[in-house]
């Protein structure tokens, strides 16, 4: 049976880096909604052009659009073995929709991880974060190279990582996304990891937490409203 993992946590907590590794090591499909939107922007799709202004301001894209994007990815054959979700759900409406989709799909337990990092540390990390303009990979800690270690592309600062937008994203995280943690907190598969530790340490703890949570999981049933 597959395994589904949600990486929760504010921008800059390190969710993307850990999601990337977990997907690679466990053979799961990584679904990063921010990355999907940034790729769509490069292709100038109509959805992306509407989303761009909101992304530049650090605001959330509407639930209907985001749920449709994630539903589409989850229904593909390469998602059958399980998925790692990074950046979704960000609202309670998205979390409720995800439960309904997972129930329809009937494909293994859902583990929810909250990566906790204090706000001052997030602001500091985001100010110096760089991503590859070609493949979207984050620069590793201490990596100052102008070229991407994976594809050789040019490393750049994300348009929404400037300080003003970062503060807006953290504010939106508090009011729109924090309630999602409360939606999941009562479940036996909810786990918290300290994201201020070295990435290898976070990775090690995550592996243990995920295996432990998956072993107590029961299939997602929306009828029990959040408390599984
Ligand atoms: P991220 O790369 O996850 O930080 O996402 C970058 C931006 O994409 C966010 O600031 C939002 O504008 C948009 N976005 C990504 N995922 C979502 C989501 N689940 N709901 C709404 N907007 C999203």
Q: Is the pLDDT of residue 224 over 70?
A: no
- Distance (angstroms) between ligand 1 centre and the Cα of 223 equals 28
pLDDT, one tens digit per residue, over 130-175 is 999 999 888 877 788 999 999 999 999 998 999 899 999 999 999 9
- Distance (angstroms) between ligand 1 centre and the Cα of 216 equals 30
Sign, CA dihedral 141-73-114-117, equals positive
| 89 CA: nearest ligand 1 atom | 19
pLDDT at residue 195 in the model:
97
pLDDT at residue 221 in the model:
61
Summary mean pLDDT of the chain: 92
- Distance (angstroms) between ligand 1 centre and the Cα of 60 equals 6
| 62 CA: nearest ligand 1 atom | 21
**Active centre residues (catalytic):** 15, 90, 129, 158, 169
Does this model's pTM top 0.85? My answer is yes
Angle, helices 63-74 vs 46-57, to 10°: value is 120
Q: Report, as an integer, the average pLDDT of 179-208.
A: 97
What residue ranges line ligand 1, CB within 6 angstroms?
A: 11, 33-34, 37, 54-55, 58-61, 66, 87-88, 90, 94, 160, 169
DSSP label at residue 174: I
* Atom 11 (ligand 1) nearest CA: 60
Report the 10 Å Cβ neighbour count for 16: 23
Q: Report, as an integer, the average pLDDT of 66-81.
A: 94
Give the pLDDT band of residue 222 (cuts 50, 70, 90): low
pLDDT, one tens digit per residue, over 15-58 is 999 999 999 999 999 999 999 999 999 899 888 888 999 999 99
Pull the structure tokens for residue 142.
């201490």
pLDDT at residue 227 in the model:
47
Sign, CA dihedral 173-27-64-41, equals positive
pLDDT at residue 144 in the model:
87
| 70 CA: nearest ligand 1 atom | 19
* Closest of 10, 29, 33, 9 to residue 20, by C-alpha: 29
pLDDT at residue 220 in the model:
60
pLDDT, one tens digit per residue, over 90-128 is 999 999 999 999 998 877 899 999 999 999 999 999 988
- Distance (angstroms) between ligand 1 centre and the Cα of 59 equals 8
């Amino acid at each position: 049976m597959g395994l589904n993992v949600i990486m929760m946590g504010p921008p800059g907590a390190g969710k993307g880096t850990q999601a990337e590794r977990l997907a690679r090591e466990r053979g799961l499909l990584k679904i990063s909604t921010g990355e999907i939107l940034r790729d769509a922007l490069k292709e100038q799709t109509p959805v992306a052009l509407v989303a761009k202004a909101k992304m530049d301001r650090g605001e959330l894209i509407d639930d209907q659009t985001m749920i449709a994007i994630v539903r589409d990815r989850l229904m593909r054959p390469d998602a059958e073995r399980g998925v790692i979700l990074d950046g979704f759900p960000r609202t309670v409406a998205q979390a409720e929709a995800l439960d309904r989709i997972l129930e329809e799909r009937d494909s293994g337990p859902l583990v929810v991880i909250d990566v906790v990092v204090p706000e001052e540390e997030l602001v500091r990390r985001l100010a110096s974060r760089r991503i590859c303009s070609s493949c979207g990979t984050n620069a590793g800690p201490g990596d100052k190279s102008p070229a991407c270690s994976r594809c050789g592309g040019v490393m750049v600062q994300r348009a929404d990582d400037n300080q003003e937008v970062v503060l807006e994203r953290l504010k939106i995280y508090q009011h729109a996304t924090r309630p999602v943690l409360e939606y999941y907190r009562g479940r036996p598969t909810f786990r918290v990891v300290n994201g201020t530790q070295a990435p290898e340490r976070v990775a090690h703890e995550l592996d243990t937490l995920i295996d432990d949570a998956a072993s107590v999981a029961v299939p997602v049933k929306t009828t029990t409203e959040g408390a599984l």
